[in-house]
Amino acid sequence: MNIINFIYRGSRSIVLRAWNKTSNTLAYILMKVYLVELGNGFKSKGIPKLILHRNGRFSIGNNFKINNTVSGNPIGRSSQCLFRVDKGALLQIGNNVGISGAAIVCHQEIIISDNVKIGGNTCIYDTDFHSLDANDRNNRDKDIEHTKKEKVFIDKNVFIGAHVTILKGVIIGKNSIIGACSVVTKNVPENEIWAGNPAKLIKRINDN
């Protein structure tokens, strides 16, 4: 039994290493095909999903790392990363950013600064997707026209826990932390820990 276990673990490790290397190359090629402005040091476990309008812009800084597989980030409810950039929109990711299985949907502008860590299955939206008026939602053109969109900005050194949802118009200040499964609906000042649904202040990081 120990021999079988040894063979299984060894072969699994070899397969995973080979797949990680192959998927990293394929993900890099995919980024280039979609004309993503990509810095140095890109690393991807698995292959992300990209939906980019030809008139949208997606830029990524140096040392960008993403996990798109269960083995890359085994925390449950895992999925591949999704990056969607709509017509005329800007998605900008800084240096030394790490993301696992997140969905980032950009209809206007989303800026993620340097040294940000984004936990598994986080969703970041800068749009309501539909009008809040029921009559508008019954008319496609009016629904699109009256859907609210607002820029999202995540400052340097922010840590976002797993399964967080960040909604349109939110600014998260530098060094702040968002607890797992939170829904962020309003601005978070720098150096604070927020959590809950809706997210609220738990404590200031410099507090005793």
Strands 199-204 and 192-196: antiparallel
Q: Which of 53, 107, 130, 163 is catalytic?
A: 130
As a three-state string, the secondary structure of the chain is CHHHHHHHHHHHHHHHHHHHHHHHHHHHHHHHHCCCEECCCCEEECCCEEEECCCCEEEECCCCEEECCCCCCCCCCCCCCEEEECCCCEEEECCCCEEECCEEEECCEEEECCCCEECCCCEEECECCCCCCHHHHCCHHHHHHCCCECCEEECCCCEECCCCEECCCCEECCCCEECCCCEECCCECCCEEEEECCEEEEEECCCC
User: 146 catalytic, yes or no?
Assistant: no
Rg (CA), the chain: 19
Task: Kindly list the catalytic residues.
Answer: 130
